[in-house]
Amino acid sequence: MNDILLNSIGDLQISNGDFSIGESIYREVQDIIMSYQGWWKEYPLVGCAAPSYLNSPSIGQQLSNTIKQQLKLDGKTVTSLSSSVSADGTLTINVNGQSIEVSN
């Protein structure tokens, strides 16, 4: 699906004085994973709340189940999903080959 693109910090991406348009699936997945339930007023049950899993003992299976369920409800197909935590506490989530980093 094409949509207005955002840059790495979430601001509108501008190219040649106009909004950039392009593939938005990766951004949609990232928004679902990073948002908390209740943030989307039209769809209050959408959101995985990945930042709340930082420093949590249930980071593995519970987060994976939440991500799969939320993306399935949004009509996305999850072919591969993994997560890991680095020494500095950064959570990296890989969904269908795309990495999403969550840190404090």
Residue at 13 is within a domain = no
Residue at 38 is within a domain = yes
Q: Which pLDDT value is given to residue 98? A: 86
- Count up the domains in the chain and report the number: 1
Give the domain extent around 86: 24-102
Residue at 32 is within a domain = yes
Residue at 19 is within a domain = no
Q: What is the pTM of this model?
A: 0.80
Consecutive 10-residue runs of the chain (104 residues): their mean pLDDT?
Answer: 84 92 88 93 93 77 89 91 83 87 81
User: Is the separation of the CB atoms in 3 and 21 below 8 Å?
Assistant: yes
Q: What letter represents residue 13's amino acid? A: Q
Q: Which pLDDT value is given to residue 39? A: 95
Q: Which pLDDT value is given to residue 16? A: 92
Residue at 54 is within a domain = yes
Residue at 68 is within a domain = yes
User: Which CATH number goes with the domain that contains 57?
Assistant: 3.10.450.40
Instruction: Say how far apart CA 22 and CA 19 lie, in whole Å.
Output: 10
Q: Which pLDDT value is given to residue 102? A: 85
